[in-house]
Structure 1
């Protein structure tokens, strides 16, 4: 396999691939593919599952971030290009990728099979548990988990059940599919002990990790008496005792997104949860999330979700 990948060039793509772009790219190799409606992308989120086919590529390899999570059961040879490393796969493996890290899969053999599923953060998150606190986040430092044939069979059966549910008419099938995602991650955790997770390897990675942890500790908001305290990059920089420019540089270098992007996305996700799962009025929700005036909350929410809080709650 070394000869296959020896002369490849890597080009970083700054813009993250959206779910819409994923389907457009997939349809190039699968002409009969019907792109599903993405109307609920900003509300309940999106999930889908597919079989893997021949996915070899020619020419330079490009890799970028995605706006979704992806779990793949890979049967076939290849390399996962990851920041600062290339992980060789020469047998059955589970690939777990997330929106914060750019990557690219390069097939090394013509025979490629298996399955993969993709889902957005708001699909898997429930009211009291953010995705970073789920099992899936606990194995985020293990993008490739090598499998025995017996282990590959276990994961294959789960993916087959996912595909059967997607084709079925069960009214609560997406709740069941969320459980299958958790089952996949439980099986992955058993194979890959979390206490062996790799640690941040440089100062930027450590600072970015501290920022993310500090951001997440503010949520969920479980009472109207609680108000988000850290709302800007300057707030976080002061709390971490670093200059705001240093923090911004570290976060962008490691995740590909700005500090403000992370803060806005997390506040928007919490706003969605509060609108959906509580009976608090919109002014109370906005105030808890750091917006003194309802109009400012409305502007922020519409920018993030293309819907006003009032319209979102009515859906």
Structure 2
């Protein structure tokens, strides 16, 4: 996991002195003034801070296990629990980004970023913006830049308001179906299932253990028959319940293999497999390679 301090050292070769004096360690930048020559591919890892990016240009972002192409004006929200990376930025890229730790919204001002709907949907919080929406978001970033460089005693209260407004605007712009407000029963069941599935991740501690692993358990949690659950998922997504479970468990296995120093036995255990042989067989069937070889690639 990349830490807030490491981010500044790696990107800018220094740790800004003013961050030591702020609560929550907030910073905001112009993208174009922070690009380096001969950029390396950013590592696909989790960070211990939140990031909001207003991006103008073309690129491919990897968010979790999805590759997402963006073009034009795009607003993106990144959560510490979800690994992300992107291709080196082109010289034509413009925009802004801000970074901050969760403590920035604690105390007297609380925005519960872990539980807002923006991060509860199975659809990544990446928004293609109209001209007017881009201008609205750009105005908020401009205000944050102005305040972070100023000396006003309450500047971080203002910045919290501006950052909060970006989250609330994004939720306002989110299509209703992304917030689980479905009229169609099959779609509603599908999104409830996906929400239950995602609530189990990420696995962050060796004492955690996957509890909901088989279709019957999900059906029981939702008070429906497993066949009904399977039909609904198949109709909406084209995938069976088991396929969804296998893919998500495999995705988490890949993340733990690449981004932790846990032993394969420990990863096998937190993912709820009975033994290492079962986990090896499952992983190889899903990826075509065994866990040990995947970790070394």
Shorter chain as normaliser: what TM range?
Answer: 0.5 to 0.7
Where do 5+ consecutive residues of structure 2 fail to align? 181-189, 219-248, 261-297
How far apart, in 1, do the equivalents of 2:128 and 2:6 lie?
29
What count of residue pairs does the alignment treat as equivalent?
212
The reply to whether residue 144 of structure 1 matches residue 118 of structure 2 is: no
Q: What is the aligned counterpart of 1:196 among 178, 181, 187? A: 178
Give the drift of 1:192: 1.5
Paired residues of 2:76 and 2:126 also in contact (CA < 8 A): yes
Q: What is the aligned counterpart of 2:60 among 76, 79, 84? A: 79
C-alpha RMSD of matched pairs (Å): 4.0
Paired residues of 1:208 and 1:251 also in contact (CA < 8 A): no
The residue number in structure 2 matching 1:90 is: 71
Q: What is the aligned counterpart of 2:29 among 47, 50, 54? A: 50
How far apart, in 1, do the equivalents of 2:154 and 2:40 lie?
44
Tell me the SS of whatever aligns to 2:16: coil
How far apart, in 2, do the equivalents of 1:194 and 1:148 lie?
18
What is the TM-score of this pair, normalised by structure 2?
A: 0.58
The reply to whether residue 186 of structure 1 matches residue 168 of structure 2 is: yes
1:208-245 deviation line (CA, Å, top 9, x unaligned):
51478xxxxxxxxxxxxxxxxxxx647x959x989xxx
Tell me the SS of whatever aligns to 2:153: coil
What is the TM-score of this pair, normalised by structure 1?
A: 0.55
Q: Report 1:91-110 matches (<5 A).
A: 91-107=72-88, 109-110=90-91
Residue range with higher mean Cα deviation, 167-176 or 188-197: 188-197
How far apart, in 1, do the equivalents of 2:198 and 2:21 lie?
31
Paired residues of 2:60 and 2:68 also in contact (CA < 8 A): yes
1:187-208 deviation line (CA, Å, top 9, x unaligned):
11122235315878999x8545
The residue number in structure 1 matching 2:235 is: none
Distance 1:255 1:97, change over 3 A: farther
Where do 5+ consecutive residues of structure 1 fail to align? 1-15, 213-231, 243-248, 259-315
Paired residues of 1:56 and 1:108 also in contact (CA < 8 A): no
Distance 1:124 1:193, change over 3 A: farther
Q: What is the aligned counterpart of 1:159 among 117, 141, 158? A: 141
Paired residues of 2:105 and 2:111 also in contact (CA < 8 A): no
Distance 1:133 1:27, change over 3 A: same
How far apart, in 1, do the equivalents of 2:115 and 2:211 lie?
23
Paired residues of 1:76 and 1:90 also in contact (CA < 8 A): yes
